[in-house]
Amino acid sequence: MSVERALEGTGVWLDDRLHGARGVRVLLRKVFPDHWSFLLGEIILYSFIILLLTGTFLTLWFQPSMTDVIYHGSYIPLRGLRMSEAYASTLNISFDVRGGLLIRQIHHWAADLFMAAIMAHMIRVFFTGAYRKPREINWLIGIVLFTLGMFEGLFGYSLPDDLLSGAGLRITEGILQSFPIVGTYLAFFLFGGPFPGHDIIPRMYILHVLVIPGLILALVTVHLFLMFHQKHTQMPGKGRTNENVVGAPMYPYFMAKTGAFFFFTFAALALAATFTQINPIWLYGPYNPVAMSADSQPDFYMGALEGALRLFPAWQWVFFGHTFAFNVFVPALLPLGIVFGGAAAWPFLEQWITGDRREHHLNDRPRNAPTRTALGIAMITFYGVLWAEGANDIIADHLNISLYLTTWIARFAWLIAPILAYIITKRICLGLQRKDRHLLEHGVETGIIRQLPGGEFVEETRPVDEEALAVLTSRSEPPPLRALEIPEAEVPAPGMRGSLGKVRERLYNVVTESIPLPDGHANGHGNGHGNGHAIESDGHGQESLPAGADQSGGTDQH
């Protein structure tokens, strides 16, 4: 009981100063919806925390210096070699600090997991439409975090100054040099003169351990605050509407679950670092500008950039005595520009096309937004082709095909595969919608065959249960195009006039293409306030249930 008294005492002491009882009480009961895919964001957060912890450990021994030293440490094969202090201190961490190798490997694995989880989380948010109003700001923050993560990772794995990462820096320098007009200056300012110089490691170090993590921490804080403030989205289900949040309270449920998840994330990273070697810089050797080995690969999140550089044709022009390295500048900026820029623009483009300015808190099932889903898959395919091309030498080696053939395939595939992916995905989504419609119209097959008095055989079906019904009928129908026109007037509304209006009308028809729900399940079209869903429009939903039951419980002859 003394624990209780101590807690109470502490609480009172704090509340006397902070007036927290009311606010914190609300916070403790804050409801968190549950779905496995919501854990992806937590993986990002926990990898980031683990990165901060392990990274701090590493700074205690790492020397961000490019001063030449002769190595005399424990790793015998490299003894007597000239190398930078940065490389020597990384060897020291790996071989002479207890737990150093483990923490270094956890740090590297956590960085890869951080980026992988960001990708997975963004994919989840995109396909469920969770980026829609009011969450556009958090979507944009996410894209900035992804970009920052790429730079943070690039700078981080370049710090040990090993042969592999040194080549990465050389490529970075080459990319900077390709920028028209300012490129050479950018490269000289970043490297403090000609490559490699003696400044790049200390400069990347301060960016890597202070500036970028600080920005990431600040943005993560805002991201989480907005998620708290706007309340998490939820997946469709029985009793879940656009106006409520259904789930377990933060205290104790979410806290315990998320704590467990932190442990699992740490355990997974510790397992990976124990049993799988990552970035064995002692095998690569110290950086020198003369040597390079085959099968050189950047970390996976730089793979798409690497692939774009590999597949782009050798186009370059000289204008008025100036070289425009189109073959570097364009693949370095355009493909990732399309992915990030497209992702950033899409929520606003979609709003403009559909005229949908309502709040959305109930997630879409990907199939119910066929065009969005198809666009997302097309983008992933685009990125994926570039990413695979970034490892084309490994692919060619393992599949025993010509290296140049892989590049030729990628040169066509990065343009054609996304289009095919779009078409196929859209067909699949529409097909799945038809399947849903069929389920609603005819019910679930039971496998029971019944003979009618007339001798006819029919299959028994039963109506879908309430939970499934809620899921199947959850749709956020866009406001009809008519709403954009002035009613009962022959002239189109201002937003629909002119060539831009025509474009918008055509895009509207593409973006909103969907298989309608069967009668009796459909969500009221153009439902003014718009947040209505079949499941919540009480009387409506109740009526439709027996109607569906009658229909599907009856005979279904096929």
> Cα(423)–Cα(170) distance, rounded to whole angstroms?
40
> Going by C-beta distance under 8 Å and a sequence separation of 6 or more, which residues neighbour residue 400?
none
Q: How many residues bind other proteins (CB under 8 A)?
A: 120
Report the residue number, 246 or 458, with the smaller CB distance to other proteins.
Answer: 246
Structure tokens at 86: 């940065």
Name residues whose C-beta falls within 8 Å of residue 332's C-beta, 6 or more positions apart in sequence. Answer: 175, 178, 305, 308, 309
Do 202 and 196 form a contact (C-beta atoms < 8 A)? Answer: no
Contacting other proteins (CB under 8 A), which of 126, 139, 179, 387?
179
Per DSSP, which regions of 252-350 are E strands?
A: 317-319, 322-324
Task: Give the phi and the psi of residue 162 in degrees, each rounded to 5.
Answer: -90, 175
Contact positions with other proteins (CB under 8 A) in 85-114 = 94-102, 105
Q: Minimum distance between the CB of residue 547 and other proteins, rounded to whole angstroms? A: 27
What are the residues whose beta carbons fall under 8 Å from the beta carbon of 327, sequence distance 6 or more? 312, 313, 314, 315, 316
Question: Which residue reads 């008294």 in tokens?
Answer: 5
Answer for which of 244, 351, 514, 537 binds other proteins (CB under 8 A) is: 244
**Which of 327, 351, 514, 537 touches other proteins (CB under 8 A)?**
327
User: Binding segment for other proteins among 364-372, 399-407, 413-421, 447-455 (CB under 8 A)?
Assistant: 399-407
Which DSSP string do the residues of 84-124 spell out, in sequence order?
A: EHHHHHHHHHHHHSTTHHHHHHHHHHHHHHHHHHHHHHHHH
Q: Which of 115, 95, 117 is nearest to 104 (CA)?
A: 95
Angle at 186 between CA 185 and CA 190, to 5 degrees: 115
Residues 451-510 that bind other proteins (CB under 8 A): none
User: Least distance from C-beta 135 to other proteins, angstroms?
Assistant: 10
| The one among 88, 167, 464, 484 contacting other proteins by CB under 8 A | 167
Q: Name which of residues 133 to 152 contact other proteins (CB under 8 A).
A: 134
Name residues contacting other proteins, limited to 37-66 (CB under 8 A).
none
The residues in 206-225 that bind other proteins, with binding defined as CB under 8 A, are none
Among residues 165, 242, 473, 544, the one that binds other proteins under rule CB under 8 A: 242
Q: How far is the CB of 245 from other proteins (least distance, A)?
A: 5
CB nearer to other proteins: give 171 or 464.
Answer: 171
Contacts of other proteins in 401-460 (CB under 8 A): 403-404, 407
**Shortest approach of other proteins to residue 28 CB, angstroms?**
9
Does 185 help bind other proteins (rule: CB under 8 A)?
yes
Contacts of other proteins in 3-42 (CB under 8 A): 8, 11-13, 15-16, 19, 21-22, 25-26, 29-31
Angle between helices 212-230 and 39-59 (to 10 degrees): 150
Query: 3-class DSSP state for residue 289?
Result: coil
> With binding defined as CB under 8 A, does residue 197 bind other proteins?
yes
Strands 444-451 and 457-462: antiparallel
Looking at the Cβ atoms of 324 and 422, the one nearer to other proteins is 324
Q: What's the CA gap between 12 and 537, in Å, rounded?
A: 45
* Binding span for other proteins by CB under 8 A among 142-150, 241-249, 425-433, 532-540: 241-249
Q: Which of 79, 221, 224, 289 binds other proteins (CB under 8 A)?
A: 289
Residue 445, strand partner residues: 461
Q: Which two tokens stand for residue 2?
A: 């003394």
Kindly tell me which of 185 and 412 has the beta carbon lying closer to other proteins.
185
* Helical pair 370-389 and 403-442, crossing angle rounded to 10 deg: 160
Nearer Cβ to other proteins, position 306 or 477? 306
| Position among 151, 188, 300, 352 found at the interface with other proteins (CB under 8 A) | 188
Q: Report, in Å, the least distance between residue 203 CB and other proteins.
A: 8
Stretch that binds other proteins, among 152-160, 164-172, 447-455, 488-496 (CB under 8 A): 164-172
Give the pairing of strands 82-84 and 322-324. unpaired
Judged by DSSP in three states, 457 sits in: strand
Looking at beta carbons only, is 289 or 526 nearer to other proteins?
Answer: 289
